Amino acid sequence: MRKSRFISILAAMVLAGSVSAQPVQGDLVLTSQGSAAGVYFLSGTSMVLRTLLPNFVTSGVKTTHNNGSVHVIGGNTGNIYKLDARGSLYTITTSTPQGGAAMELDQDGSYMVVNSFNRILYRLQGNSPFVYLTLTSSHGSPNAICRDGNTGDWIIGTTMNGRLYRVNRETREITTLYSGSAMSSIFGVAFMPQTGEFAVVRSRMGYTTLFEELAIIRSSGSVHYTRQIENANAVTVNHKTGRIYVAAKNKVVELSSSATVLASRTCYPSSLEFTGIDVWDDQNLSLTASGAHGSQPKIALRFNRSKNKPYAVALSFGQRPAISFGTNNVLNLKPDALFFLTAAGGLPYFTSGFAGTTNLITGAATACFTIPWSLPAGTCIYVGAAAVNTAFPNNLDVSNVECIKIR
């Protein structure tokens, strides 16, 4: 057998993975284009690459509201699809044009989708997209988006000028957070709740050539750390561990919050061209919240690894300092007065369902609370939860923390 043929067969075997395997909470899910187009996931601590959906060109991925699946953008069409853990694909909308680059989940359950071709930010409500904002040519082409967990606003990354913009969620006012050098481009951005900073993958000009790197940018807009990573193209942050994951062509690099490389996995076939990355099932807690005074934000819980387990929900006016329940098991809520008043339903006329047992089959539960009229517009309330499970450090399966911006 020729060596080249043997390598091709070996690559196919690696990409195929286990047919019966499905992603679980904490796995990494990746989209790819090129000759190995598809959706893949890295399973567990072994980081074995497995195929979730083969032969499908995609340009971005985001966990869906209330866990259990992901949304992906069709790279050749711009269509938005839902993909579940079995690899089944469902069309959400065909009304978004080609050029969709990335998406992010809002506090009301909608998605924001940035389109690098027409410079439009779409809001996707259910299966109906509409134009939220159009950037000018001087802004550059939007190519990356995340929600600022500090303020509830949008952070947009652009190409050709390497800028980060802040878009006010309510007024849609655009301000510049960070300006890159000429010819630089931002490919991905992710919020880091444990530090309040942003993990950004970008290209920028060196002395003679462009190079790619991870940059940690403070909320003030200054650069804190950088780490050169060849072909860096997408980034995500595990909110519970604080670890950063950068997808770079056919490798995944794991880094600390100070951009120190902890692991680099480059054993995947060179035919891969990763375009997006996210943490599977990282939406243990999802919101449906307008943010209006007197309204009742709905909290949807889904602890897929903690079914039929006791849970508790809490609110806070801050995320830091967070509550650590052991190594790599952090609840990004500040233990302030509001936290102690609401934890596990301490205010029964203000909160509902803040303590209970998750569903035996799905691990789901629901809760809600009332936004007081006394809080000024612009105030942020942070919502988090945990389920009791001896399989996790200190017996707690913690959730992500979501921000509600009051209007």
E strands, 116-153, where?
A: 120-125, 128-134, 141-147
Residues 197 and 338: their CA atoms lie apart, in Å, by: 24
Residue 147 has pLDDT above 50, yes or no: yes
Percentage with pLDDT > 70 across the chain:
94
Say yes or no: 29 and 173 in one domain: yes
Say yes or no: 231 and 342 in one domain: no
Query: Residue 267 has what pLDDT?
Result: 66
Say yes or no: 67 and 205 in one domain: yes
Say yes or no: 370 and 270 in one domain: no
Residue 305: CATH number of its domain: 2.60.40
User: What is the strand order of the sheet 197-205 is part of?
Assistant: 185-192, 197-205, 210-217, 223-228
Say yes or no: 241 and 142 in one domain: yes
Say yes or no: 174 and 215 in one domain: yes
Torsion of CA 40, 43, 46, 47, to 10 degrees: 30
- pLDDT tens, residue by residue, 35-81: 999 999 998 667 789 999 999 999 999 999 999 999 999 999 999 99
Say yes or no: 223 and 351 in one domain: no
Answer with the one of 252, 279, 306 that is the final residue of a domain: 279
How many structural domains are present in the chain? 2
Residue 342 has pLDDT above 50, yes or no: yes
Residues 241 and 195: their CA atoms lie apart, in Å, by: 12
Query: Residue 334 has what pLDDT?
Result: 97
- pLDDT tens, residue by residue, 75-109: 999 999 999 999 999 999 999 999 999 999 999 99
Residues 254 and 262: their CA atoms lie apart, in Å, by: 5
Residue 135 has pLDDT above 90, yes or no: yes
Confidence of residue 345 (pLDDT cuts 50, 70, 90): confident
Answer with the one of 261, 279, 297 that is the final residue of a domain: 279
Say yes or no: 247 and 301 in one domain: no
Say yes or no: 269 and 303 in one domain: no
Say yes or no: 247 and 369 in one domain: no
Average pLDDT, the chain: 92
Say yes or no: 268 and 396 in one domain: no
Say yes or no: 348 and 379 in one domain: yes
Answer with the one of 279, 299, 328 that is the final residue of a domain: 279
Comparing CA positions, the residue from 184, 185, 190, 155 lying closest to residue 169 is 155
Whether the model pTM is above 0.85: yes
Residue 17: CATH number of its domain: 2.120.10.30
Residue 390 has pLDDT above 60, yes or no: yes
- pLDDT tens, residue by residue, 171-210: 999 999 999 887 899 999 999 999 999 999 999 877 668 8
Query: Residue 160 has what pLDDT?
Result: 84
Comparing CA positions, the residue from 137, 146, 143 lying closest to residue 112 is 146
Q: Which structural domain range is residue 50 located in?
A: 3-279
- Average pLDDT over every residue of 272-283: 96
